[in-house]
Structure 1
Amino acid sequence: MLEIGIQLTLAAMILKVFGYKVFIAISLILGDGLYNLVKIIAITIKEICNKSTKQSNLPVTTEVLGDESSKLLMEQKRRDEVFLKDRIPSWVAASGYVGLAAISTATMPLIFPPLKWYLVLGSYIIAPALAFCNSYGTGLTDWSLASTYGKIGLFIFASLVGTDGGVVAGLAACGVMMTIVATAADLMQDFKTGYLTLSSAKSMFVSQLVGTAMGCIIAPLTFWLFWTAFDIGSPDGPYKAPYAVIFREMAILGVQGFSELPKHCLAICCVFLLQLWL
């Protein structure tokens, strides 16, 4: 108990020192992604309305292209045709996501009892917006921030559940959010590669499904092998698992609520989040 108390105190001190930096950075990244998400949705709705009313506001211009520009334009047109020829229907993507959400909502509370079904469903409702933000940021920087978005879910769900199982629920919800967000960014990178190499989008998606199915079998077996062969998490062992300790302590702090954050941290984050929209 004394060791746990010392770890909790150290984690609280670290959070007090670095809380402003971490959460302000999260708010900036999240604000930028949400702004572009809202902008794309607004443009899409506007175009749908224009088509339904048979209005076209696109300017008609005549542009004289040189040989080099003409080649680039033809190459881009060819890429568009190849990539869109085997595109995945929207209903397939939507039904697949709904099906996975239903399976997770039914099974995860059986594995992690503190994580109630409505919390899992809430994770799947929030995750698409965060997945877009992470995909957008990964496309700009080639740096996936899935763990950052997972920490958002960790704090939110751990504080909602409270002291009665909040640590387990927060960590499980963090895993759900990280998986969805990271997979979305990886898939967008694969689609971009397929677009540049004139590959079929459907082939890229099927390859991703095959790899995911293999990972569902290989990853648990690998973890079981290491768990039985080595003392995972031991401070004196070869596999200390430092991230496991960090995330657990963050979940413990999340159980205590947002009051553990530095003073005025959320208010400052809201200011940085909203200033991107102004």
Structure 2
Amino acid sequence: MDAASRQDADTATPEFTLRSVLVGLAIGCLLCFTNLYFGLQTGWISMMSLQSALIGYLIGKTFTHPSFTPQENVVIQTTAVATGTLPLAAGFVGIIPALSLLSQETDGVDALKLSWLQGVEWSLAVAFFGVFLAVPLRKQVIIKEKLAFPSGTATAQLISVLHQTPLPQPDGLTRRRGYEALQSDDVAHEETRVVVEEDVPQDVEGEVVKKEGWADLLYSFGASAALTVAAYFFPVLFAIPLFGTHLAREWLWSFSPSLSYVGQGVIMGFPIALSMNVGMLVGWGILSPLAKLSGWSPGPVGDMATGARGWILWVALAVMVSDSLVSLVPVAWELVRDYTGHGKREGHEDDEEEPPERLVPLKWVAWGIGASILLGTLLVWVVFGSDGIKSWATVIGFVLGCLLSVLGVRALGETDLNPVSGLGKVSQLLFAVIQPRNVVANIVAGGVAEAGAMQAGDLMQDLKTGHLLRASPRAQFYGQLVGSAVSIVVTTVAYSLYTRVYEIPGKEFPAPTSFVWLNLARLLRDGSLPPHTGQFMLAFGLVAATLAGAKAHARATGASWARWIPSGVAFAIGFLNTPSFSISRLIGGVVELLYRRHLAKTHTPPGREIRLIIIASGFVLGEGVASIVGLVFRTCGVGAASCWGCGTGICAGCG
């Protein structure tokens, strides 16, 4: 079949089908609970687009006839991503917990704990804005500029392999054997890039996944789920005092053999896991004892207000902001050059290959953005009132989200980095001037801007996947709308269940990013810092900015050593979370490194690379699903079977 005939066949095949949407929603709901669980626990979530495509393919091969087409699989993973990432986009892992920490004494306002209905209203206010923003940006960054969007390209490559469909080679795409971990350098996203050599028969890898994929996924899922349920009844399993009882009790140095953490380490890759552990050693091995023993943080080490954990959080904030802002500079500069004509690319006036009936009409986009802003502003006013944030300030937040989304999408397309943490902090800095001394307005406006930038960037990865596989942009748009709509209810219900059973933020679910949002808002309101944090913030911020500049330069020149420059945000995550979080991920990163090197040395037949990703995905999903079982147990009053080993206050489950 020639290229023209193949394209005609692709456009004639139904893509937005009931079965593809239902499977996408099922996978997305699973991801939604999983991402909320890990987001509240560690501040980490994943798009899971590659994993969604894998699971969709396996379901199609096993339960449907005929099997899903490649374009249906694109709709599946697009719908799943839109459903699964709303816990971050709507701020349920950071902004909403931060508002619950407010106090009249410190912030001039009482704590805001949203009801279920208020959670739905807030989610509805921000759920669709980024979906409409992504549509006009698609033509610029994917069609005209042909940006790489590595994770979206990786997913397209995987789908093409699984369905044994040759992938076109536009946009300077290079295909080679093996897989390479790429990190989005944000507290929220880790993705794995899969690349396949052009001369490797695609049916070989497809057969490997067909024959062994379900077994790999189910065994790893079952092992992770079983260990998680066992740890619910015997909490010490996830808080082993590997370094001694004293260090575990007084300094929070314990070890959690969580298979999901190991799986996340595999997915994020060794360089990022290493950056995270370097941060962990500096934060918890040097700065935490220094702050405690010097009397700068006299409270218990784990206390976010008076302890060393709260003290080192300020240093982490400086690292995250410096790294994110410096990383945005080359993207902003390139954007200015493009729009002033100095960097304009030639020969891409209009390369759109899709017929109008497969595109999203710009009239829909204009009405959608306008309606999103009006409805969002109204709902934010309903939830927070004019004392919380002025309506005109909310409108500015949405407009700022439009501008920041351009930077976020360009950064993601060129580097696979969506620096939404930095973009959110930019909006917080601006709102310190627009609505000064108002902590609620500062956090909410930052959340509005971040939601648009994050959604537009993440969904652009999916649109890149669809572009390479000739999937209908309109079908993907429908999938994004449906996924976001369903996730409004799923995310809010899940968060309400967790808050009924657990204290959030609390010992089991510390929601570390909520303190990042809140501390910056308080700093901008009061201008006061804990003792001696200013000097350390300045020093670490300068180092982070220097390394971020070096990384940006190395990437721009194509230097292979760029990925070994420490990630500033990953380094900061090592500060935000206790050592057990980072150590387990380092194990996964080492496994990924050794596995890849072993395959390279032994010339293992193609198709085996993808198995490690499937196993890692099963580990992550297993604990996420098993957490729902724990939630049910806790709701029914079923507690730990034994607190053996927890008498020293090490374990959250018995604490």
TM-score, scaled to structure 1 = 0.70
Structure 2 counterpart of 1:243, one-letter code: T
Match of 1:120 among 382, 388, 394: 394
* Equivalent residue number for residue 162 of structure 1: 436
Q: What does the per-residue CA deviation read over 1:29-78, in whole Å, with 9 as the maximum and x for residues that have no partner?
A: 333333333344345xx99xxxxxxxxx98xxxxxxxxxxxxxxxxxx8x
Contact kept in structure 1, 2:377 and 2:395, CA below 8 Å: yes
Q: What residue ranges of structure 2 are gaps of 5+ in the alignment?
A: 1-104, 107-298, 554-655
Alignment of 1:43-62 (within 5 A): 43=341
CA distance in 2, matches of 1:93, 1:131: 15
Indicate whether 1:255 and 2:553 are aligned.
no
Q: Deviations over 1:138-176 (max 9, x none)?
A: 12222321122112112322454333xx22111111211
Contact 1:153 1:174 in 2 (8 A): yes
Q: Counterpart of 1:29?
A: 327
Contact 1:109 / 1:116 at 8 angstroms: preserved in 2? yes
Letter in 2 for 1:239: F
CA distance in 2, matches of 1:173, 1:8: 29
- Among residues 115, 140, 148, which one is paired with 2:422 in the alignment? 148
Q: Could you tell me which of 364, 368, 380 is aligned with 1:96?
A: 368
Report the equivalent of 2:499: 227
Q: Is the 8 A contact 2:313 2:516 kept in 1?
A: no
Instruction: Indicate the SS of the match to 1:81.
Output: coil
Which has the larger helix fraction? 1
State whether structure 2 residue 408 is matched by structure 1 residue 134.
yes
Query: Does the 8 Å CA contact 2:418/2:457 hold for their aligned counterparts?
Result: yes
> SS state of the match for residue 234, structure 1?
coil
CA contact (8 A) 2:439 2:525 kept: yes
Q: TM-score, normalised by structure 2?
A: 0.32
Render the CA deviation track for 1:228-265: whole Å, top value 9, x for unaligned.
11122123xx11222212221121112136999878x9
- Given that 2:304 and 2:310 are in contact with CA atoms closer than 8 Å, whether structure 1 keeps it comes out as no
In 1, the alpha carbon distance for the partners of 2:428 and 2:309 equals 19
Give the direction of change, closer, same or farther, for the CA distance of 1:167–1:37 in structure 2 (3 Å limit). same
Tell me, yes or no, if the aligned pair for 1:7 and 1:249 is still in contact at 8 Å: no
Residue of structure 1 aligned with 2:486, choices 214, 217, 221: 214
Aligned residues: 234
Q: Take 1:137 and 1:241, find their aligned partners in 2: how far apart are those partners?
A: 26
1:104-115 equivalences in 2 (<5 Å) = 104-113=376-385, 114-115=388-389
Aligned-partner Cα distance in 2 for 1:198–1:169: 43
Identity among equivalent positions (%) equals 22
Question: How far 1:23 moved relative to its partner?
Answer: 4.2
Q: Is the 8 A contact 1:159 1:254 kept in 2?
A: no
Residue 157 of structure 1 aligns to which amino acid in structure 2?
F
Q: Structure 1 residues 20, 214: CA separation in 2 closer, same or farther (over 3 Å shift)?
A: closer
SS at match of 1:233: coil
CA distance in 1, matches of 2:312, 2:399: 33
Aligned residue in 2 for 1:202: 474
Name the Cα RMSD after superposition: 3.7
Partner of 1:71: none
Answer yes or no: is the 8 Å Cα contact 2:428–2:442 preserved in 1: yes
The answer to whether the Cα contact below 8 Å between 2:409 and 2:456 also exists between their aligned partners in 1 is: yes
Deviations 1:84-133 (A, max 9, x none): 66222223212211111111122212212321111111111121221011
